Structure 1
Amino acid sequence: MTLAELSTIRDLLVCPRCRSRLAAVQGGFACTAPSCPYHASPVFPVVGRWPVLIDFEHSVVRRDTVSCVRTRGAESLPAPLRRLFKPRNRVAARNVELLLRGLPGPEPRLLVVGGATVGNGVGLVYEQSRVQVIGFDIVGSAVTQFVADAHQIPLAAASVDGVLIQAVLEHVLGPAQVVAEIHRVLTPDGLVYAETPFLQQVHAGAHDFTRFTASGHRYLFRRFEEVGAGTVAGPGTQLLWSIDHLVRGLSRSALAGRAARGLLFWLRSLDRFVPPDFAQDDASALYFLGRKREREMSAEDIIGYYRGAQEPDRRRRHASDP
């Protein structure tokens, strides 16, 4: 495990409200800026071992809900069933290797946003002795050093060399604000790897807000140079999601939906037979790997970016394929 000790990143922590340095005080941490509301009271508390660095006045996270994460769902199933319901994310595993190879220096810092649990396919991040991993979420866990809201990342500007954000942007109210924060905390030429749903049903109740097409996902990261982008899971996986939730709706039973998903698990294998341009238009989830830049994509750029199968010349090309 290469999770950085909190003591080694203390100097990187800043006030989420005004981004001034923090000072340890009785009961937690306080902002060092006299004009900041968090200079004196209320301080940022410590819950368990986790500093809670959230500006509660500007967050949907409530002070009384901060706690330690409890693993549940697919992670609690026996290993064979877990692989059936949630197979290893090979796309993430491949791209995380690229991300780690691209991080500069002998001891680069990698920030995991929404990292209360180790994401599917990204375990390699925590196995690299050269990488200092910094993790946070709105709950504390064994793989996070502090609790924070991604809309206001409590880290100094240009303080990390890479950012990993997997299956998080659909759960925030302002994805563009979160990406702007990622851009701010990254060093020049820093890397970001993101995975976000496109065609998936609601999977976190009241905390599920947004979906992105491939073009929308790219435009979200418009201040980044693309290193790679594509589908994490394609139309077969998307169909499996739909069948699961159709059965849930008809039966009023989540268990029945999961049973249907288990019986039809083989639909996922159809993803490999769908060409990338068709898959992009009907993907279950998408990824983006990019490098920080100051230049921003224009509206014309993003219209020209489209790579799906609905462009006329692409349709003609596929029609002429033998």
Structure 2
Amino acid sequence: MPLADLNDIRQLLVCPRCRSALAEEPAGFHCTAPACPYHRADAFPLAGPWPVLVDFEHSVVDRDAPMGAMGAQVSVGAENLPAPLRRLVKPPNRVAARNVDLLLRDLPGPAPRLLVVGGATIGNGVGAVYRDPRVEVIAFDIVGSPVTQFIADAHHMPLPARSVDAVLVQAVLEHVLDPPLVVSEIHRVLRKDGLVYAETPFLQQVHAGAHDFTRYTASGHRYLFRRFDELAAGAVTGPGTQLLWSIDHLVRGVTRSAFAGRGTRALLCWLRALDRLIPPDFTRDAAGALFFLGRKRAEEMTAQEIIGYYRGAQASERP
């Protein structure tokens, strides 16, 4: 697994507030800029082996929370089910696998650096990122895990500008308070012509409870990445899968049981096959989740361009 060692990327990390260099001490890190609020010795503590590089004044991450809890295992839901049932409830994400393959083939140089935002677990379909021997993977989340090197808030990434070649942000943007700010940070840390791959829900029920905030249509998702050229975009899951999730949550509500909902979803897993029968334009208007693969550019997409971008089934209804 090409996850970079923290010692190898230590010099790359910067203050999330002012982006000055960091100084290390036994209990953590602090900013080297005297005027920065995080210049004090205990500014960025450790949570187990993970440096907590968070601008606490502008984050939902609480500095006074028990740091041990941040390093706890975060696997939930389908990941805890037996393998056969897990494959029925949460099948392999072939869309992500295909797009990650495209991203990896397009990465430049002999040792490209790829940043995983919200990488506390290895996402469904993106395992190739961690198997490619030439890729240096940097990953963070607001919790620590065996596949992250540090804890951070995606709104204020503790990385310098133009420091990575690609960014992977799968099923994360719905969990941040300000997705445009996070995408702006992604644009900032990417080198010229850097790549981004994102997956974000559209028609999907609330998950992660109080930490679930946002959904995007296909046009809204494209405009979110308006400072990127589109290489590929479309649906991760279609109306059949979306219907399956709705039935799951209907059963949960009627029975007050998440287990009953998941069981019903497993029994009706054949509904996913309906996705294959629906044309892409109809799928875009009723997708469960959407993906975007893009390349960094300087210019923004205009408001006029995003109106013309719409490719859904209602395009023929335009005056």
TM-score (norm 1): 0.96
CA contact (8 A) 1:115 1:144 kept: yes
In the other structure, the counterpart of 1:36 is 36
Equivalent pairs counted in the alignment come to: 315
Of 142, 160, 168, the match for 1:164: 168
Confirm or deny that 1:117 pairs with 2:121: yes
Q: CA–CA distance in 1 between the matches of 2:80 and 2:241?
A: 22
Confirm or deny that 1:295 pairs with 2:275: no
The more displaced of 242-251 and 143-152 is: 242-251
Instruction: Specify the SS of the correspondent of 2:155.
Output: helix
Instruction: Map Cα deviations across residues 143-181 of structure 1 (whole Å, 9 max, x no partner).
Output: 000000000010010000000000000000000000000
CA contact (8 A) 1:103 1:161 kept: yes
Q: CA–CA distance in 2 between the matches of 1:165 and 1:26?
A: 32
Confirm or deny that 1:59 pairs with 2:59: yes
Confirm or deny that 1:180 pairs with 2:178: no
**2:178 partner letter:** G
**2:204 partner letter:** Q
**1:237 partner letter:** T
In the other structure, the counterpart of 1:50 is 50
**1:54 partner letter:** V
Instruction: Specify the SS of the correspondent of 1:210.
Output: coil
Q: Deviating runs (4+, > 2 A) in structure 1? A: none
**2:200 partner letter:** T
In the other structure, the counterpart of 1:140 is 144
In the other structure, the counterpart of 1:229 is 233
Identical amino acids, percent of aligned pairs: 73
In the other structure, the counterpart of 2:23 is 23
TM-score (norm 2): 0.97
Instruction: Map Cα deviations across residues 25-60 of structure 1 (whole Å, 9 max, x no partner).
Output: 241101011100111154201111100001111101
**1:201 partner letter:** Q
Of 197, 202, 207, the match for 1:198: 202
The more displaced of 77-86 and 228-237 is: 77-86
Q: CA–CA distance in 2 between the matches of 1:154 and 1:185?
A: 10
In the other structure, the counterpart of 1:68 is 71
Q: CA–CA distance in 2 between the matches of 1:147 and 1:42?
A: 16
CA contact (8 A) 2:27 2:42 kept: no
Of 230, 241, 253, the match for 1:249: 253
* Offset of residue 259 of structure 1: 1.6
Instruction: Map Cα deviations across residues 77-105 of structure 1 (whole Å, 9 max, x no partner).
Output: 11111101100000000000011111111
Q: CA–CA distance in 1 between the matches of 2:147 and 2:255?
A: 38
**2:132 partner letter:** Q
* Offset of residue 262 of structure 1: 1.1
Q: CA–CA distance in 1 between the matches of 2:8 and 2:109?
A: 17
In the other structure, the counterpart of 1:240 is 244
Unmatched runs of 5 consecutive residues or more in structure 1: 315-322
In the other structure, the counterpart of 1:318 is none
* Offset of residue 73 of structure 1: 2.0
**1:296-315 equivalence runs, <5 A:** 296-312=300-316
Instruction: Map Cα deviations across residues 190-242 of structure 1 (whole Å, 9 max, x no partner).
Output: 00000000000001100000000000000000000000000000000000111
What is the CA RMSD across the aligned residues, in angstroms?
1.3
In the other structure, the counterpart of 1:85 is 89
* Offset of residue 12 of structure 1: 1.2
CA contact (8 A) 2:175 2:212 kept: yes
Confirm or deny that 1:11 pairs with 2:11: yes
